[in-house]
Every structure is written in structure tokens, then in C-alpha cells.
Amino acid sequence: MVVAVLLAGACLFGGAGTWRWGRGWVFLLAYAALTVILAGTLVRKSPDLIEERMTARARAKVWDKLLVPVVAVILPFVSLVLAGLDRRLGWTRSITDLASAVAFLVMVGATLFTFWAVRSNPFFSSHVRIQTDRGHVVVSDGPYRFVRHPGYAGALVYNLAAPVMLGSLVALWVGVAIVMLLVLRTVLEDRTLQAELPGYPEYVRRVRHRLVPFVW
């Protein structure tokens, strides 16, 4: 997590070519603070989940081994580099400070929503797999009462809000690409759970929507 924060800073300010970028600092400090909150949540609530998330890739579905690096590492950091370059070269001039501030609040809210899912789900792994070794059962508390994949729902909103907060429509296109891949991952994960996790089909009948209540 420390490496992720340092890399995020390198991408942002390396792209921008300057340390004098207010939006970049606000983003980085918020990113660091939210990372600490996530770490604290995992340590206090589900310490065994840390080990699960660090070792899940070896037992994950093949398609998820391909998707996770792209969605969780490559594209997000590409987005930060592009946002920095946008700051340096002035590609985007239409995002006001007010729009950036609103996007910042949305970004933080979306992240906290994802953390709510992490706190509610002791099986919130980094990769898709049925955790029979950990007594995997269906979770229907917290945000799982409203949508079946609240972690992805929060991630969708975050990846659209963060580029706007940084003032970059160019980076926003990368966010759109991340959203499309997350929707694909949601479909594939939901099919896996329905086919392999006992009790999940019944949960699907109670909670009808995957990501957006009353929509999908």
C-alpha cells in the first residue's frame, strides 16, 4: 500500500512535471488517507482477509488473473499519468474548481462505500474464487442488501470521479475503459457465484440488481 501511494505520486507529478499542483496534492493526500483507512479496516475487522487477498491469485479463475492487473493496476496508473500530462500540456480547460470539488466528494463517498462492502464481507478477495477453504458463504448484510456487487459499484463511481477531480477529460476516457472492464468482471463473477456458491441463486432472487439499484 505504501508503494501504491508512492507510485501514484510519481505518476501524477512526474506527468505534470511540477510539484505545484493543488489538485494533485489533494488527490494524493486523500488517496493516502483512504489507503490507511482500508489497511486499518482489514487489520481490525478481517486480519485473515489480508492473507487471502495476497494469495488469492494462485487459485483464481484464469480470466480474472488477466483482468485484475489491467483493472486494478495498469489502467488506474495510466489514468494518473495522463492527468499529470493534461496538467502540464493544458489539454483540458473546461473543468472548473467547483466541478473538481464536487467530483472529489463523490470520489471519497464512492471509496467509503467500497470500504463498507469490505467491512461487511469477510470473503472480499482480490480475485474471483470460491473460498471453500475459508468456509465461503453468501453475504447479504450491509450494502449487499441493495446490490450484489457493491465493491464494484463503488469502484465504478470512483474511476469516473477521480479524473474529473484532477481536471482531466483525457484521463476520464481511461476511467470509462475501467468501468467497461469492471462491468465485464461483474458479469463473469456473478455467473461464477451462481454456478458454484451454495445459496447464491436464492440471494439473486432477493437482491435483483448487480450494480445499480432498479437499473442493473
Amino acid (one-letter) located at 112: L
**Is residue 89 domain-resident?**
yes
Does residue 70 fall inside a structural domain? Answer: yes
Does residue 42 surpass a pLDDT of 80?
no
Q: What is the mean pLDDT of residues 92-97?
A: 94
Model confidence at 16, pLDDT cuts 50, 70, 90, reads very high
Q: Hey, what's the cell of 104? A: 472529489
Question: Residues 95-110: what's their mean pLDDT?
Answer: 97
Q: Is residue 215 part of a domain?
A: no
Closest by alpha carbon to 75, among 188, 187, 155, 165? 155
Question: Mean pLDDT in the chain?
Answer: 94
Q: Decide if 42 is inside a domain.
A: yes
Q: What is the mean pLDDT of residues 159-175?
A: 97
What confidence tier does 19 reach under pLDDT thresholds 50, 70, 90?
Answer: very high
In whole angstroms, give the CA distance from residue 121 to residue 138.
9
Specify if 85 maps to a domain: yes
Stretch 164-193: mean pLDDT: 97
Q: How many domains does the chain have?
A: 1
Matching residue, cell 474511476: 159
Residue 212 domain flag: no
7 domain-assigned: yes
pLDDT at 47: 80
pLDDT (mean) for 42-60: 83
Q: Which residue has the higher pLDDT, 46 or 67?
A: 67
- Cβ atoms of residues 206 and 138 within 8 Å: no
Torsion angle, CA of 123/126/131/135, rounded to 10 degrees?
-20
Q: Which domain holds residue 183?
A: 2-206
pLDDT at 11: 97
Give rounded-to-5 percent helix, strand, coil for the chain. 75, 0, 25
116 touches 142 (CB < 8 A): yes
pLDDT of the residue at 36: 87
pLDDT of residue 96: 96
For 77-89, give one letter per residue: b (16+ CB within 10 A) or e: bbbbbbbbbbbee
What integer pLDDT is reported at residue 98 of this predicted model?
A: 97
Q: Give the separation between CA 124 and CA 189, rounded to whole angstroms.
A: 12
Rounded Cα distance between 165 and 74, Å, is 20
CATH value at residue 73: 1.20.120.1630
User: Is 90 inside a domain boundary?
Assistant: yes
